[in-house]
Structure 1
Amino acid sequence: MDALASLLEGPRARGAFLMCSLLDPPWSLRIEDEAPLTVLSMIRGGAWIVTDPGPDRVAPRELGAGDVAIFRGPRPYTVADSPDTVPQIVIHPGQVTKTPDGEVLCETLNLGVRQWGTDPNGATVMVTGTYESAGAASMRLLRALPPVVVLRRGEFDGRVLDLLSDEATRDEPAQGAVLDRLLDLVLIAALRAWFARAEAPAWYHAYADPLVGKALRLLQHNPAHGWTVASLAEAVGVSRAALAKRFADLVGEPPMAFLTEWRLSLAADLLRDSDATVENIARQVGYGSAFALSAAFKRHFGISPRDHREGVSPAELSSAG
């Protein structure tokens, strides 16, 4: 498993929301859906991306046909025909579409199978794929991304974008599964290109280091093993001190800190995606008992494994207390 593959284990489309928007200027969409990750593919025409004021705000970005934008949520943003166009439509959580005054528009703007907008022959066509949840193991990926990533048509393999646009409005057997896989491919193609740039985080390049890269893969492939820095160093063929320093320099944290986060992230995803007991999950990710996992889990995430499995957030627990 390479760096990008391991990071993409979390944001894998499973019943992702996918829609083809057909619009005529002037148009402006205010996105407040709180989704952790969204992929927008421009098929025809153009658009502008405007982020909200704040420390992460970026200058308005223009998209042309064939470009892809990746949005890291949950902060709102606007996509419009011009940076100056006032939002006419607001996308809320659950992909509920309303006017700024609160009028529901979902049926009004329905143009057919996964088609939505103001004009079936609109000058602007874009396909949007929304990952409405992301696994805990993907948080390192999400933290690495800026609020908006823009890839131009020539910067990534656009063949998958052509396939996605062709399939987006079909209604064939297992079409949802086909679209999920194509959406993943568009995301991977775009992220592969972005991570190859200089702005990729330093830890990403650590996977290419012959020593640290091997250590990272050993930890990720074998989280249940009773790793120590000494045993890890022995496995990669260097001294304990040499590995500890090089690992911290390239990854940004000590080996055991990386392992702890990885184990707990895997546990969080297993709690949501499987019926395995906490005891069984504890053994899978390298904890000796359910009690040990529960204690570490609560320190890291602020909630117990049971509350996490039931979808309770730390904020909800605080307000209830």
Structure 2
Amino acid sequence: MDALAGLLDGPRAHGAFMIRACFDPPWAVRVQDEAPLTVMVMARGTACVTPDADGVPVRLGPGDLAIARGPDPYTCGDRPDTAPQALILPGGECRYPDGTSLNGSMDLGVRTWGDRPDAATVMLIGTYLMRGEISGRLLAALPPLLTLPAGVWACPLTPLLAEEIVRDEPGQEVVLDRLLDLLLISALRAWFSRPEAAAPAWYRALADPVVGRVLRLLQDDPAHPWTVAALAAKTGVSRAALARRFTGLVGEPPMSYLTGWRLALAADRLRDSDLTLDSIARQVGYGGAFALSTAFKRVYGVSPQEHRAGHGGGRP
């Protein structure tokens, strides 16, 4: 499996919240919707995004893209010091700062919201509403806020999204869901190729000739009854040397990594398929449903059935 493909094999928008936000300065919106991931593209004008995690504002210009990882709140505005005029809460609820509802009062047409349609600032925003739509492996690899300047990436999907987001056609939600998935994958692929991208340790370790081969063996065939001795034989090093080298680069021993990988795959398949728990267990390397359930609940805090019913609410 290609490592980046494995990491990005997760975005599955389903009825994502999509909107064209239009504002004239001064403006600011406080986002507290607890969504797992939001993609923002500047179609016109500039904006500042300030995550609560570090309080450092990031300026976006025309064509720039930002991805905010939830559930931590953040504020978007023309300036970092502009007081928020609206609060975005879970479930798409919108309120004034004093708590008064503003649902409907700023609607400007199909998926368009704000001051006026031809405002100085226009942002295209796509929000994944449920955690199960984004794999836990991907969320864990992302910072609270990442940005891509227009000068370092060019995505042909942006003008298409701008055109489609205001349409009211049959099946439009599905079209927008797929566009959002493709836009996110395109952006993350560009971001992971940049030196400042904080890729997970296992991703960086793929460059090591020994540990990289072990990681590929585990990722390609998680159902195999791997042991440290078998992996060491495959790579031509001793068990002790492999364990030391793998733990140093990845941050955990080989068998611990394999357990996490198997459970992550199980979590994704519970979310994406109707396969029985026993079938999933055998696909990812467990002897049966009971063994998988025990390990899954120990790591995720919920049973596989609860994870599936809650659309991926459990987290390792």
TM-score (norm 2): 0.89
Q: Which residue of 2 aligns with 1:6?
A: 6
For the pair 1:170 / 2:167, whether they are aligned, the reply is yes
User: In the alignment, which residue of structure 2 is the partner of 1:318?
Assistant: none
Q: Secondary structure at the match of 1:79?
A: strand
The separation in 2 between residues aligned to 1:171 and 1:255, in whole angstroms, is: 51
Which range is displaced more, 205-214 or 30-39?
205-214
SS at match of 1:82: coil
The runs of 5 or more residues in structure 1 that have no matched partner are 316-321
Matched, 1:96 2:97: no
Amino acid paired to 1:147: P
How far apart are 1:92 and its partner, in Å? 0.9
Cα deviations across residues 119-140 of structure 1 (Å, max 9, x unaligned)?
Answer: 1111110011111223498323
1:227 partnered with 2:219: no
Equivalent residue, structure 2, for 1:143: 140
Structure 1, residues 145-184: CA drift from partner, whole Å, max 9, x if none?
Answer: 2211111001122322222222221234433233223222
Distance 1:313 1:40 in 2: 24
Question: SS at 1:65's partner residue?
Answer: coil
Q: Which residue of 2 aligns with 1:44?
A: 44
Q: Which residue of 1 aligns with 2:75?
A: 78
Q: Please, which moves more after superposition, 236-245 or 270-279?
A: 236-245
Matches within 5 A, 1:239-318: 239-311=238-310
- Which residue in 2 is equivalent to 1:130? 127
Aligned partners of 2:62 and 2:88: how far apart in 1?
23
Could you tell me which amino acid in structure 1 is paired with residue 20 of structure 2? Answer: C
Deviation at 1:101, TM superposition (A): 2.5
Look up the equivalent residue of 2:248 and give its one-letter code.
Answer: D
Mapped contact 2:28–2:85 kept (Cα < 8 A)? yes
Aligned to 2:22: 22
RMSD: 2.4
Task: Go from structure 1 to structure 2 and tell me whether the alpha carbon gap of 1:207 and 1:167 turns closer, same or farther (over 3 Å shift).
Answer: farther
Partner of 1:208: 207
CA 21–303 in structure 1, closer or farther in 2 if over 3 Å, else same: same
- How far does the alpha carbon of each residue in 1:86-111 deviate from its partner, in whole angstroms, 9 at most, with x for none? 11111111222221233332322222
Identity between Structure 1 and Structure 2 (%): 60
Shift of 1:238: 4.4
1:152 matched to 2:149? The reply is yes
Give how far 1:75 is off.
0.6
- Give the TM-score of the pair, scaled to structure 1: 0.88
Partner of 1:63: 60
Secondary structure of the corresponding residue to residue 255 of structure 2: helix
CA deviations 1:211-249 (Å, max 9, x no partner) are 333332332232222122222333445443443333223
* 8 Å CA contact 1:11, 1:134 repeated in 2: no
- 1:64 deviates by 0.6
SS of the aligned residue for 1:150 comes to strand
Q: Amino acid of the residue matched to residue 266 of structure 2?
A: A
SS at match of 1:97: strand
